């Protein structure tokens, strides 16, 4: 099946490109012809398959990964006066969700190898006001669940797995991305491993939480015209769900290709790594990384902006992998200026995202690595 080129960048080699083809087109057309565009059989099928894939009892499809986080916090009663521990490093969606609920985000630094939240970080940041922990599975690497579960259970904290990038992956004990905590949240943005255009989901084993989430996403309705709580409109469209089902058929195939490409990067950049000019995220033995974003950590003294400029000149898209919210002006009022986050700071300043997408050719991989190697060598 031929794929449709669907890139959001003008670069010859973009950072990401969703793999879309006749299956997705046929799925969308089927929904349009059915006339059922909201909360129908496609949503039900998509949710069932998401639950099975994450090892959960329930899945609730919603409009985005950010919405998934907001509804989860809302349903769990996180709000004014509560503190939520969250990684200092990670896309700001999670912090925005905490603030939208009126709670206070408490930043913790991340592990220098995996870049994920650690049990020790949670213990050090916990106060009497801490109600929840949002663990971000960084860039597609599922955090080691056992330690996080243990520390949260010890202190009676709600644990939420932000698996926006990790769907399809697992930790070293084979716990799936989205599979730990009271709930896991997923995203299906076009840059994720599978896409529904825009969309997200919450997966959980708690039947009461599942019921609450379904009501919250549908204006608080317990049944037609029965409004038993305040809610919102967070329903995923049937077209989006149908596209998601078509994508799920190829999930294992896409993950295998992403792993192959990531291995290709490591092989081609081995000399640069050995020279100490870049390093990689450390993946625990037995864990499966989804490689939702392919990144290299540039060595101190290598200027990321100069490297990006050379890649851009060569028609290659690149950029920061994501951000430390503790370094963003919009969150200055909620960040404790007296605390330091050295690992998050280094990742914020020196982590570089490189192109990776299904259908990427060996020649394109060669070109990216050749330009990157040259750009880094020039700063040696």
The pLDDT tens digits for 71-113 are 999 999 999 999 999 999 999 999 999 999 999 999 999 999 9
In this model, does residue 350 exceed pLDDT 90?
A: yes
What's the domain count of the chain? 2
* 321 and 361 belong to one structural domain: yes
Is the separation of the CB atoms in 12 and 1 below 8 Å?
Answer: no
φ/ψ of 358, rounded to 5, equals -65, 135
User: What does the alpha-carbon distance between residue 194 and residue 165 come to, in Å, rounded to a whole number?
Assistant: 10
CATH number at residue 224: 3.40.640.10
Contact 218, 235 (CB under 8 A): yes
**What mean pLDDT do residues 310-318 have?**
97
273 and 363 housed in the same domain: yes
Judge whether 152 and 145 are in contact, CB under 8 Å. no
Pairing of strands 221-223, 200-204: unpaired
CB atoms within 10 A of CB 251: 16
What average pLDDT does the segment 175-201 reach?
98
3-class secondary structure, 235: strand
* CATH number of residue 323's parent domain: 3.90.1150.10
For a pLDDT cut of 70, what percent of the chain falls above it? Answer: 97
* Percent of residues, the chain, with pLDDT higher than 90: 95
Three-class SS state of 25: helix
**pLDDT for residue 10:** 58
Do 37 and 164 share a domain, yes or no? yes
User: Rounded to an integer, what distance in angstroms lies between the CA atom of residue 170 and that of residue 167?
Assistant: 8
Residue 250: predicted pLDDT: 96
Residues 204 and 294 in one domain: no
Q: What is the pLDDT of residue 379?
A: 85
- Provide the whole-model pTM: 0.95
Q: How far is CA 367 from the centre of its chain?
A: 27
| Closest by Cα among 8, 20, 9 to 358 | 20
In a domain, 5, yes or no: no
DSSP 133-201: EEEE-GGG----HHHHHHHHHHTT-EEEEE-TTTTT-B-TT-PBTT-SBSEEEEE--TTSSS--SS-EE
Structure tokens at 30: 């089927």
Edge-to-edge order in the sheet of strand 319-320: 278-279, 294-298, 351-354, 319-320
pLDDT of 17 strictly over 80: yes
Centre a 10 Å sphere on the Cβ of residue 262 and count the other Cβ atoms it contains.
Answer: 18
In a domain, 9, yes or no: no
Give which of 200, 153, 207 is closest to 180, Cα–Cα: 153
Residue 3 placed within a domain: no
Same domain, 105 and 189: yes
Distance CA 240, CA 90 (A): 26
Question: Domain for residue 1, yes or no?
Answer: no
Which has the closest alpha carbon to 92: 83, 81, 82, 100?
100
Determine how many CB atoms are found less than 10 A away from the CB of residue 220: 15
Q: How far is Cα 315 from Cα 105, in angstroms, rounded to an integer?
A: 39
Domain boundary among 249, 270, 287: 249
> Would you place residue 153 in the very low, low, confident or very high pLDDT band (cuts 50, 70, 90)?
very high
Please state the rounded mean pLDDT for residues 36-45.
96
Average pLDDT over the chain, rounded to an integer: 95
127 shares its domain with 217 = yes
For residue 120, give its domain range.
22-249
Mean pLDDT of 167-188: 98
Confidence check: pLDDT of 3 > 50? no
Residue 34 shares a structural domain with residue 136: yes
Examine the domain organization and report whether 176 and 30 are in the same domain. yes
Is residue 161 a part of any domain in this protein? yes
Same domain, 327 and 352: yes
Q: Are 207 and 58 in contact (CB under 8 A)?
A: yes
* Residue 4 maps to a domain: no
In a shared domain, residues 237 and 262: no
Task: Give, for 96, the enclosing helix (H) or strand (E).
Answer: helix 93-100
In a domain, 369, yes or no: yes
Residue 315 belongs to some domain of the structure:
yes
Q: Which of 216, 231, 249 is the last residue of a domain?
A: 249
* Complete DSSP assignment for 272-320: HHHTTSEE-----TT-B---SSEEEEEPTT--HHHHHHHHHHTTB--EE
Out of 223, 249, 275, a domain closes at: 249
Considering the domain architecture, whether residues 217 and 261 belong to the same structural domain is answered as no
Q: Are residues 169 and 127 in the same domain?
A: yes
Burial class of residue 150, CB neighbours in 10 A (0-12, 13-18, 19+): exposed
């Amino acid at each position: 099946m031929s794929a449709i080129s669907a890139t959001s960048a003008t670069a010859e080699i973009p950072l990401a490109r969703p793999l879309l083809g006749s299956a997705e087109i046929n799925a969308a057309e089927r929904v349009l012809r059915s006339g059922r565009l909201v909360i129908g059989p496609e949503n039900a099928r998509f949710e069932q398959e998401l639950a099975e894939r994450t090892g959960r009892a329930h899945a609730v499809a919603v409009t985005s990964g950010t919405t998934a986080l907001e509804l989860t916090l809302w349903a769990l009663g996180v709000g004014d006066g509560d503190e939520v521990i969250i990684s200092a490093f990670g896309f700001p969606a999670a912090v925005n969700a905490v603030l939208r609920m009126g709670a206070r985000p408490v930043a913790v630094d991340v592990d220098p190898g995996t870049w994920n939240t650690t049990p020790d970080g949670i213990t050090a940041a916990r106060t009497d006001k801490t109600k929840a922990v949002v663990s971000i599975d960084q860039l597609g690497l599922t955090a080691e669940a056992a330690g996080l579960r243990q520390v949260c259970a010890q202190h009676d904290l709600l644990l939420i797995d932000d698996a926006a990038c990790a769907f399809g992956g697992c930790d070293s004990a084979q716990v799936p991305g989205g599979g730990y905590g009271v709930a896991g949240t997923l995203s299906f943005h076009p840059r994720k491993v599978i896409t529904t255009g825009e969309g997200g989901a919450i997966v959980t084993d708690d039947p009461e939480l599942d019921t609450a989430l379904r009501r919250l996403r549908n204006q608080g309705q317990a049944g037609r015209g029965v409004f038993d709580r305040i809610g919102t409109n967070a329903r995923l469209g049937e077209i989006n769900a149908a596209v998601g089902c078509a994508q799920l058929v190829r999930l294992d195939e896409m993950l295998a290709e992403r792993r192959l490409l990531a291995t290709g990067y490591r092989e081609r950049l081995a000399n640069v790594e050995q020279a100490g000019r870049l390093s990689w995220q450390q993946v625990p033995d037995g864990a499966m990384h989804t490689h939702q974003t392919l990144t290299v950590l540039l060595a101190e003294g290598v200027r990321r902006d100069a490297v990006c400029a050379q890649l851009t000149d060569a028609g290659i898209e690149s950029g920061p992998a994501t951000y430390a919210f503790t370094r963003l002006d919009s969150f200055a009022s909620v960040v404790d200026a007296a605390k330091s986050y050295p690992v998050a700071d280094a990742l914020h300043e020196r982590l570089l995202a490189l192109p990776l997408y299904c259908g990427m050719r060996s020649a394109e991989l060669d070109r990216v690595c050749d330009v990157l190697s040259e750009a880094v060598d020039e700063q040696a």
